[in-house]
Amino acid sequence: MILREEKTKIKRIEELKKKKRAVIIAHNYQLDIVQEIADITGDSLELARKASKAKAETIVFCGVRFMAETSAIISPDKTVLLPVLEADCPLARMITVPQLKTLKKKHPQAGVASYVNSSAKIKAESDICCTSSNAITVVNALPHKEILFVPDKNLGRYVSAYTAKKVILCKGFCPTHALLKASEIVKVKKDHPRAEFIAHPECVPEVLALADYVCSTAGMFKYARETKVKELIIGTEGGMLYPLRKENPDKKFYLASPVLICPNMKLITLDKIIEALEEGKYQIKVEESIRKPAYEALQRMLEVS
Ligand code: 13P
């Protein structure tokens, strides 16, 4: 339900959107109200695709910094705004360019696949990018027999089970997904014996081992829509529950654990979106010498997925 004070803010956002020829894009982990007012929602891959096609001069990106950066890489002709500069993804900071260069030296034969949850500079140093929904396809599409997969070790390990290639992992992980423990899944499954458990590949391997299905956030929508099962335990960030319940009113969804809340994703509010549109902040720009090679790595991903 939309509250009265929210209605006033939404009206202001609509006015500003028209004035600035802006489009609001929100990731599936955003606050319910932000997803509600967004023009486009989706997983990282869908957002990368749709943002580039959006007929707008300004993109207000409601997500974390790497997502807005990806949008700026793909659409250099558009103004990309991230309403809260501190909305950052800790996983994306878990590999630096010097660390990647050292790994490349150590594994000179390996192709580099970087998860989109990485900085523009890391993308620029990569052969190809991937998201959680296309990581297996991307790794298998590379001609290399060895793949240096950065920065998420959990997604990388998951991918390694679906390829004959040698996947070299590094140490990154999502601090929110990593909080989910296998013991919690055992308990929640006992509490809801008819429910299936679907998990994001950023979860730790012990949790993934208990999953009935592993997929990206977009994959979860598809699965929820198509399965005959009426109850689902969701192993990813809690923002997913609002759209899943909205789309499937006949089904029940349980968050696998209350710990699954990303503090960064929740920083963007209606007030922050108004400020972003009024003041044109915070513009995310990527220097051309980085943008070009990062764009090529993203483009290769879009071509194979
Ligand atoms: P998706 O691509 O599945 O939406 O995941 C993005 C993400 O950042 C997960 O933590």
pLDDT digits (tens, 9 = 90+) for 131-171: 999 999 999 999 999 999 999 999 999 999 999 999 999 99
- Residue bearing tokens 């290399």: 144
| pLDDT tens digits, 268-303 | 999 999 999 999 999 999 999 999 999 999 999 999
Indicate the burial class of 34 (C-beta count within 10 angstroms; 0-12, 13-18, 19 or more).
buried
pLDDT at 240: 98
Q: Which atom of ligand 1 is nearest to the CA of 177?
A: 10
User: How many Å apart are CA 24 and CA 76, to the nearest integer?
Assistant: 17
Ligand 1 centroid vs 8 CA: distance in angstroms?
A: 31
* Residue among 23, 32, 75, 26 at smallest CA distance from 46: 26
| pLDDT tens digits, 83-135 | 999 999 999 999 999 999 999 999 999 999 999 999 999 999 999 999 999 99
Pocket-forming residues, ligand 1, beta carbon under 6 Å: 28, 43-44, 117, 131-133, 174, 202, 216-217
- Residue 2: pLDDT band (50, 70, 90) is confident
Give nearest CA residue, ligand 1 atom 4: 43
Q: Which of 35, 40, 43 to mutate to test the pocket of ligand 1 (most atoms within 8 A of CB)?
A: 43
Helices (H), 161-204: 182-191
* Residue among 302, 280, 294, 251 at smallest CA distance from 59: 280
- Residue bearing tokens 């939404």: 10
Give nearest CA residue, ligand 1 atom 2: 44
In this prediction the pTM is 0.96
| pLDDT tens digits, 42-71 | 988 888 788 888 889 999 999 999 999 999
Whether the CB-CB separation of 177 and 192 falls below 8 Å is answered with: no
Q: Which atom of ligand 1 is nearest to the CA of 44?
A: 2
| pLDDT tens digits, 224-238 | 999 999 999 999 999
Q: Map residue 275 onto helix, strand or coil.
A: helix
